[in-house]
Amino acid sequence: MSFTERVRDLTRLAFQLGNNWMTLAGAAMTTSSAFVLVWFWFMEITSPRSIHPYMGIILFLILPALFLVGLALIPLGIIRLRRQRKLAGETPLPLQAVDFKQPGVRRLLTVVGVLTFINVSILGTAGLKGVEYMDSNQFCGLTCHTVMSPEYTAFLDSPHSRVGCAQCHIGHGAPALVRAKISGSRQLFAVAFGTFSRPIPSPVEHLRPARETCEQCHWPQKFTNDKLIVRTKFAEDEANTASTSILLLKIGGHTPNGTTGIHGRHLDAMERISYITTDARRQEIPKVTYRDDNGQLVEYVTDDFKKLPKETVDKATVRKMDCIDCHNRPTHAFQLPDRALDKAMAEKRMSAELPFLKKQALELLKVDYADQKAAAAKIPVALAEYYRTTYPEIYKQKRAQVDTAGEVVKAIYLRNVFPEMKITWGTHPNNIGHEESVGCFRCHDGNHTAADGRSIKGDCDTCHTILAQDEKDPKILKDFGMK
Ligand code: HEC
Ligand code: HEC
Ligand code: HEC
Ligand code: HEC
Ligand code: HEC
pLDDT at 119: 83
- What's the CA gap between 432 and 240, in Å, rounded? 27
Q: Is 331 in the pocket of ligand 2 (CB under 6 A)?
A: no
- Our answer on whether the CB atom of 265 is closer than 6 Å to any ligand 3 atom is no
The CA 459 to ligand 5 mean position distance, Å, reads: 10
Distance, in Å, from the CA atom of 185 to the CA atom of 70, rounded to the nearest integer, reads 23
Going by C-alpha positions, the residue among 455, 382, 427 that lies closest to residue 200 is: 427
Q: Identify which of 480, 474, 481 has the alpha carbon closest to the alpha carbon of residue 233.
A: 474
Instruction: Tell me how far the alpha carbon of residue 224 lies from the centroid of ligand 5, in angstroms.
Output: 18
Spans of all domains in the chain: 3-134, 138-207, 227-330+433-479, 337-421
One pLDDT digit (tens) per residue for the chain, 483 residues: 577 876 776 677 667 777 888 988 998 888 888 888 888 878 777 776 666 666 777 777 788 888 989 989 988 988 888 888 888 887 665 444 556 677 766 777 787 788 888 888 888 888 778 777 777 777 777 777 678 889 999 999 999 998 888 888 876 666 766 677 667 666 766 777 777 888 988 888 778 888 888 988 998 778 888 999 999 999 999 999 999 999 999 998 888 878 889 998 888 776 789 999 999 899 999 999 999 888 899 999 999 898 999 898 888 889 999 999 999 999 999 999 999 999 999 999 999 999 999 999 999 999 999 999 999 999 999 999 999 999 999 999 999 999 999 999 999 999 999 999 999 999 999 999 999 899 999 999 999 999 999 999 999 999 999 999 999 999 998 888 887
- For residues 257 and 141, what is the distance between their CA atoms, to the nearest angstrom? 44
Q: How many angstroms separate the alpha carbon of residue 323 from the centre of ligand 3? A: 7
Question: Is residue 212 exposed (0-12), middle (13-18) or buried (19+ Cβ within 10 Å)?
Answer: middle
State the Cα–Cα distance between residues 160 and 147, nearest whole angstrom: 20
337 neighbors 417 (Cβ within 8 angstroms): no
Residues β-bridged to residue 254: 259
Which residues have any ligand 4 atom within 6 Å of their CB?
250, 261-262, 265-266, 273, 275, 285, 288, 290, 292, 300, 321, 325-326, 432, 439-440, 442-444, 454, 456-457, 462-463
Model pLDDT for residues 341-387, shown as the tens digit of each residue: 999 999 999 999 999 999 999 999 999 999 999 999 999 999 999 99
* Cα 90 to Cα 11, 77, 79, 84, 95, distances in angstroms: 21, 17, 15, 9, 13
Ligand 3, atom 37: closest residue by C-alpha: 323
Determine the Cα–Cα distance for residues 321 and 61; give it in Å rounded to an integer: 39
Q: What are phi and psi of 248, to 5 degrees?
A: -110, 110
Question: How far does residue 245's CA lie from ligand 2's centre (Å)?
Answer: 25
